[in-house]
Amino acid sequence: MVVLAKPAALEQISLVRSPSVEDNFGAGLPVVDLAADGAAGEVVRACERFGFFKVVSHGVGEGVVGRLEAEAVRFFASPQAAKDAHGPASPFGYGSKRIGRNGDMGWLEYLLLAIDGASLSRSSPAPSSSLRDAANKYVGAMRGMARTVLEMVAEGLGVAPRGALADMVVGDGAASDQILRLNHYPPCPPLLQNLMPNCSPTGFGEHTDPQLISILHSNSTSGLQVALHHDADAGDHQWVTVPPDPASFLVIVGDSLQVMTNGRMRSVRHRVVANKLKSRVSMIYFGGPPLEQRIAPLRQLLVAGVGDGEEEEQSRYEEFTWGESHKENKLAIIYIIKKISAETLCSDLLA
């Protein structure tokens, strides 16, 4: 058991050893130019192989991103009492250090906002009208990108109609379950930097996203790591750092898309480690379906390529609705927030 000199400073936030620089993808990061010929095939390949990809040529104006990021920075820089007035996150609103309902802790503060149709929900108010306006424009852009990507997924997998998946999340009038999350990870405290040069506190613990798709933007501060799947279910994975690029977005496959594609696409585990020197600000749009949506493999994928007299592919997952996944934690079989145990604490601490 390790006792920190000042445990209260970290309030039980785990420490992780960051992968070395060589573990970066470098040129190997999956990148898709959404405007290029053959983009649908590239999207499917990246989602099958990595569970995420970087999007370039996305057509989202710099102003739309910059305006919301500036609003987020302004909110996070406001006095603690002003931020606390918008919390605690239950689940929507301002939250700090405590993430979700499972007692997970991270070196971050965040604003979780519900989306109703094409704009922020009136029932989880934004802290200011300027943040709400900026968020609504941003949400519009993210819905457009979610449609493009999900249509490409359907096209690339040979699923008809092209809007089969996209309509679940951004269909006209669909009461889908969309969320916008603004995250701020303050720099790693100087005390810890000195004590443990190779460690950082966990910003956001290891998890997969339960929805169909997430679209992530960050400022130029690093911290995001993804697990390259070898055999992730058997715990065989390698953490790699994704270099930040504010000019692009990262599309992340969620658990529901994994189920709907009967495991062809894999949701990707990811986590954030706090940066030693700079604040990281990220904005993430989560595209989930309506609560009554059945989460099960698309029938067309189970029968695709099955000849006469041959058995169709079996579903690898128990069927449930998106609403049930909230209530009964059904997706917990797939998504894992790993409580980092003593063995995974940095060896500097264990010494």
Ligand X SMILES: C=C1C[C@]23C[C@H]1CC[C@H]2[C@@]12CCC[C@@](C)(C(=O)O1)[C@H]2[C@@H]3C(=O)O
Ligand Y SMILES: O=C(O)CCC(=O)C(=O)O
Q: Under the rule (CB under 6 A), what is the footprint of ligand X?
A: 91, 99-100, 102, 104, 112, 179, 207, 209-210, 286, 335, 337
210 binds, among ligand X, ligand Y, none (CB under 5 to 8 A by kind): ligand X
147 binds, among ligand X, ligand Y, none (CB under 5 to 8 A by kind): none
**Nearest of 199, 155, 234, 174 to residue 16 by alpha carbon:** 199
91 binds, among ligand X, ligand Y, none (CB under 5 to 8 A by kind): ligand X
What are φ and ψ of residue 19, in 5° steps?
-65, 155
With 0-12 CB in 10 A as exposed, 13-18 as middle and 19+ as buried, what is 187? middle
**What is the C-alpha separation between 303 and 301, in angstroms, rounded?**
6
Angle at 239 between CA 325 and CA 230, to 5 degrees: 75
Closest CB to ligand X among residues 46, 212:
212
Residues in 19-58 that interact with ligand Y by CB under 6 A: none
272 binds, among ligand X, ligand Y, none (CB under 5 to 8 A by kind): ligand Y
Closest CB to ligand X among residues 212, 240:
212
Question: Least distance in Å: CB of 208 to ligand X?
Answer: 7
Question: Which range touches ligand Y (CB under 6 A), out of 121-129, 139-147, 216-224, 307-315?
Answer: 216-224
Residue 181 in contact with ligand Y, rule: CB under 6 A: yes
100 binds, among ligand X, ligand Y, none (CB under 5 to 8 A by kind): ligand X
Question: Least distance in Å: CB of 207 to ligand X?
Answer: 4
Residue showing tokens 């919390």: 87
Inter-residue contact 343 to 15 (CB < 8 Å): no
**What is the C-alpha separation between 53 and 180, in angstroms, rounded?**
19
**Prior bond to 186 cis, omega within 30?**
no
Closest CB to ligand X among residues 40, 212:
212
Q: What is the DSSP string of 251-294?
A: EEE-HHHHHHTTTSS----EEEE--SSS-EEEEEEEEE--TT-E
227 binds, among ligand X, ligand Y, none (CB under 5 to 8 A by kind): none
Taking CB under 6 A as the criterion, the residue among 204, 239, 249, 285 binding ligand Y is 204
Question: Least distance in Å: CB of 305 to ligand X?
Answer: 33
Q: What is the DSSP string of 28-88?
A: GS-EEETTSTTHHHHHHHHHHHTSEEEEES----HHHHHHHHHHHHHHHTS-HHHHHTT-S
**What is the C-alpha separation between 64 and 241, in angstroms, rounded?**
26
Question: Least distance in Å: CB of 282 to ligand Y?
Answer: 3
**Nearest of 154, 160, 200, 203 to residue 44 by alpha carbon:** 154
Residues in 237-296 that interact with ligand Y by CB under 6 A: 270, 272, 282, 284
337 binds, among ligand X, ligand Y, none (CB under 5 to 8 A by kind): ligand X
Question: Least distance in Å: CB of 243 to ligand Y?
Answer: 12
Where does this chain bind ligand Y (CB under 6 A)? 181, 183, 204, 209, 216, 218, 224, 270, 272, 282, 284
